[in-house]
Chains A and B, each alone.
Chain A
Amino acid sequence: EHLDTLQISLSPGEHAQYTFPQLSFYKPILWWPNGMGKQSLYNVEITVNVKDYGESDTWSNHFGFRKIESTIDSSTGGRLFKVNGQPIFIRGGNWILSDGLLRLSKERYKADIKFHADMNFNMIRCWAGGLAERPDFYYYCDLYGLLVWQEFWITGDCDGRGDPVSNPDGPLDHDLFLFCARDTVKLLRNHPSLALWVGGNEQVPPSDINEALKNDLQLHPYFKDSSEG
């Protein structure tokens, strides 16, 4: 039941999007953050075979079954998180990057992130002035159960504050910002540790960017009806 095949036809040069029929899982082994349970991971493999050619391309990625929800608490103004329906007390660390010269080795990511888990943290916040972190960073967050709060690149450099005053309208090229944001989301979106996208540090982006990000990142209506019951 965890296999499926689609027969499709592509015209010369065609760039198309396909959705598989949904795969059903009974009592899937859930992915939990550090301290709440195991970080169970499945492997998803997609292959495309072409008639008269054979295997044309393959893609595989580990995947965790989890549902992350967060809301702003009206009485405190704080953000409350639930994972798989269970409330979680967030113990987080702030993160800029692993190394200022961007020598971002797997070994160093593993050590850095395991250290956060060993400190009993369950979330890392990637600050807007640093990196949209790399797949290797997320891989170890998946493995050690660190939820990731990932911010886009809007800081005090983009809001008209500071001395000298910064550009009040964010980055000069808003279309380029959104292109990079969308591409980064595509790079990272399948990691179970990815918990929350945030527009920037201590502020919201310029209104056109903010609206576009909110619109692009909202849950597709198809999934709004699903309920954990």
Chain B
Amino acid sequence: MAAIGKTVLDKGWLAARSTEVDLTGEQLTTGDPPSVADPRPPWMEASVPGTVLGTLLKNRLIPDPFYGLQNESILDIADSGREYYTFWFFTSFECKVSNNQHVDLNFRAINYSAEVYLNGHKEVLPKGMFRRHSIDITDFLHPDGKNLLAVIVHPPDHPGKIPPGGGQGGDHEIGKDIAAQYVEGWDWMAPIRDRNTGIWDEVSITVTGPVKIVDPHLVTTFFDDYKRAYLHTTTELINKSAQEAECSLNIQVSTEREGNVCLV
């Protein structure tokens, strides 16, 4: 039985330019996993969380864009096309759960859209740089506990072009998407060539029992010149099981005093 809680997937990621990978997502996650040692490139160690440009820099395939004028020598997405910065990301992880446990695969932010493959099963992640994605993968986990995960990440729909003179926000096309807008360059910033495409925030799996806690909300009210306070707590709960769940929902507020002594 797996321990309840979150495991961050931030190690062992590989990446490859999508145009250089001739396998499908199903094939990538059901056959032999790719490796940087493969005689056929294109797989490289990836920065996850991070951007495609960060991965390319990590592998010294581009110069550091923030050093001197080196950004000028990096191909801009307006000239290369979106496919050039469309990348596969791949990793494997171990997770084996018992019958009444459930597992979610969580992405805290992807820029801009993606398709996720886990052990041959596909899930499409919708557009939007600033949104979380959570997929129930319980039924897709491999019985032996070894799981293969591949994610193809697409750049923003409107990466825009950078006018010869630069300017505030380039040609402003990026503003059509729900994405960071500085990436077309500003008066203080050169354009970011991949427009920050990538899995740019935490990836994790969470194991729960039949019932999951979602997005608790804490609010305080004060009275009597701050002598009295009330903490109001609301939470969402999801019963992921096919049975009625009799639950005991507990809240505890503590403050840490000296060392590890906890005062309730």
Interface positions of A (Cβ within 8 A of B) = 2-20, 22-30, 40-51, 53-59, 61, 63, 65-67, 84-85, 96-97, 100-104, 127-132, 134, 153, 155-158, 162-167, 170-173, 176-177, 179-181, 183-184, 186-187, 189-190, 220, 223, 226-229
Contacts and interface: CB of A to CB of B under 8 A. Distances in A.
Interface stretch (B11-19, B83-91, B138-146, B211-219): B211-219
A29 B226 CA distance: 10
**Across chains A and B, which 7 residue pairs bring their CB atoms closest together, nearest first?**
A157-B175, A56-B209, A166-B172, A226-B221, A10-B239, A51-B246, A101-B54
B186 A129 contact: yes
Given A50-B247, A96-B189, 5 more contacts: A3-B251, A3-B253, A51-B245, A226-B222, A228-B223
Nearest to B158: A172
Contacts of A127: 182
Nearest to A23: B231
Interface residues of B, number: 95
A48 to B, nearest CB: 5
A132 B217 CA distance: 19
Contact of B50 (A46, A59, A103): A103
Contacts of A65: 220, 222, 229, 231
Contacts of A30: 226
Interface string B25-61: 0000000000000000000000101110110010000
A200 to B, nearest CB: 10
B49 A102 contact: yes
Contacts of A40: 255
Given A10-B247, A48-B213, A155-B169, A100 B229 contact: no
19 contacts: A3-B251, A10-B239, A17-B237, A18-B237, A25-B231, A42-B254, A48-B213, A56-B209, A63-B231, A67-B222, A84-B226, A101-B54, A155-B169, A158-B181, A162-B168, A164-B163, A223-B232, A228-B223, A229-B224
Contacts of B54: 101-103
Task: Give the one of B232, B253, B264 with max A CB within 10 A.
Answer: B253
A152 B235 CA distance: 25
Contacts of A7: 246-249
A58 B213 contact: yes
A184 B234 contact: no
B131 interface: yes
Nearest to A51: B246
B153 to A, nearest CB: 13
Nearest to A222: B232
A26 B235 contact: no
Contacts of A104: 49, 200-201
Contacts, number: 324
A97 B242 CA distance: 44
A132 B219 CA distance: 21
A50 B246 contact: yes
Contacts of A165: 172
B114 interface: no
Nearest to A128: B181
Interface in B98-142: 100, 108-109, 126-132
Contact of B172 (A162, A179, A190): A162
B78 interface: no
A166 B175 contact: yes
B167 interface: yes
B253 A19 contact: no
B227 to A, nearest CB: 6
A23 B230 contact: yes
Interface in B244-264: 244-256, 262, 264
Interface in B171-185: 171-182, 184
Contact of A171 (B175, B251, B253): B175
A53 B97 CA distance: 14
B239 A12 contact: yes
B264 A56 contact: no
B250 A4 contact: yes
